[in-house]
Structure 1
Amino acid sequence: MQHAKFRRSNRERSETMRAELITAARRLFTRGSYAETSTPDIAQAAGVTRGALYHHFADKQALLLAVIEAEAEAVAAEIETETPPDMPVIRQLSEGAATYLRAMAVPGRTRLLLLDGPAVLGRTVMDDIDSRHAARTLREGLAQAMDEGAISALPLDALTSLLSATFDRAALAIEGGDVASDYAEVLDRIIAGLLQPPR
């Protein structure tokens, strides 16, 4: 019993330290830039030694990957909270798009997920992360809408990819100072354009 408690305590301490490193790295990556941030900076900000940092993460790129995974997970969680299963499927798609734009407005998030992530980790890695988070929620919503006959039957992967890219471009434009409501309105019209005409 004591041994199990010791193991659990060690695991909890390890998880806490890992979370503190991710939080510190996110703060530094978005305050300055990924390129300007060093692992000693991150260790100091987290209040740990460099040895402790390297025990949890192989290098700065591994830390960026962990930060981005956490950000992508947060976006997907927010979309899922705002689009419960009992909501009509077309409204789910519309609310999901609006929620995505709100979630991406969290300071630093657009830069991490749409600029630094692809530049440092590469498109393949970022596509894999997206396929498990925001793009997954979009794909599931589109699949359900097609199954219910609410929208036209189209190649699902291509539709998900193109709509996802449209949402990302909107997030970047809003980050750059464009009017968020303009993009929300256009995205609503795009989704409405997918509606299956009544037979």
Structure 2
Amino acid sequence: MQERNLRRSNRDRTEATRGDLIAAARKLFTEKSYAETGTPEIVAAAGVTRGALYHHFADKQALFEAVVEQEANAVAEEVERAAPVALGAREALLAGTEAYLRAMQVAGRTRLLLLDGPAVLGRTGMDAVDDRHGNRTLREGLATTMRAGAMRKLPLDALTGLLAATFDRAALAVDAGAPFDDQLAVIAALIDGLMKQSPQPA
């Protein structure tokens, strides 16, 4: 029993240290950018040693990837909560779209996921993160809508990629001050155009 408790205590400390590093790095990366943040600042902000940093992460880029992974997962969870199975196909896509745009309004997310993410991890690396999170939820929603017969059959990978790019562009526009409702309305019109029977204007 004592040995099991010790292992749990060590694991808890390890997870806490990793969490502190990710939280400190996120704050600095969003305030100063990835390029302008040094590892000495990160370990100082996290209250850990440089050795602890390199115990958990190979380098600053690996730590950045962990931050990006955490943020992308948080956005995907918001989308999934907003679009439960009980919603109709079109309603789920629209609810997920709005949830994505709102989730991306969290301070620092557009910089992390849409600007620094592709620059630091490369397009291939960032696509891999997206495919595990946001693009996965979008792809599943589109596939469900097509299977239900509510949307025209189109190549799923191409449609997912192009719609995801549209969502990202809208998130950047909102972050730069564009009206949220305008971006949402245009995306809703695009989604309606993909449906087999587009809703008639009220």
**TM-score in terms of structure 2 length:** 0.96
TM (norm. structure 1) is 0.98
> Which residue does the alignment assign to 1:153?
153
Q: Which residue of 2 aligns with 1:189?
A: 189
1:52-63 to structure 2, matched below 5 A, reads: 52-63=52-63
Alignment of 1:11-50 (within 5 A): 11-50=11-50
Which secondary structure state, in structure 1, belongs to the residue aligned with residue 194 of structure 2? Answer: coil
What letter matches 2:70 in structure 1?
A: A
State the Cα deviation string for residues 42-84 of structure 1 (Å, max 9, x = none). Answer: 0000001111111111111011000000000000000011111
Pair 1:142 & 2:142 matched: yes
Runs of 4+ deviating beyond 6 Å: none
User: Distance between the aligned counterparts of 2:36 and 2:144, measured in 1?
Assistant: 44
Q: How does 1:75-94 map to 2 (within 5 A)?
A: 75-94=75-94
Structure 2 distance, partners of 1:179, 1:87, is 26
Q: Return the offset for 1:154.
A: 0.5
In structure 2, the partner of 1:169 is: 169
Q: Alpha-carbon deviation of 1:197?
A: 3.1
* Number of equivalent positions: 198
Secondary structure of 2:94's counterpart equals: helix
CA displacement, residues 100-153 of structure 1 (integer Å, 9 cap, x when unaligned) = 000001010001000001001101011111011111111001000000000101
- Specify the SS of the correspondent of 1:85: coil
Taking the aligned partners of 1:86 and 1:154, their CA distance within structure 2 comes to 24
Inter-partner Cα distance in structure 2 for 1:129 and 1:52: 25
Partner Cα distance (2:120, 2:195) in 1: 38
- Code of the residue aligned with 1:110 in structure 2: it is T
**How far apart are 1:175 and its partner, in Å?**
1.1
The CA distance in 2 between the partners of 1:56 and 1:135, in whole Å, is: 27
User: Residues of 2 paired with 1:42 and 1:149: CA distance?
Assistant: 50
* Secondary structure of the structure 2 residue equivalent to 1:96: helix
User: Quick one: percent identity of the two aligned structures?
Assistant: 61
- Structure 2 counterpart of 1:10: 10
Residues in 2 aligned to 1:68 and 1:194: alpha-carbon distance in whole angstroms: 31
CA RMSD of aligned residues (A): 0.9
Aligned-residue offset at 1:177? 1.4
What amino acid does structure 2 have at the position aligned with 1:190?
A: L
Counterpart CA distance in 1 for 2:129 and 2:35 is 21
Counterpart CA distance in 1 for 2:127 and 2:45 is 30
Which 5+ residue runs of structure 1 have no aligned equivalent? none
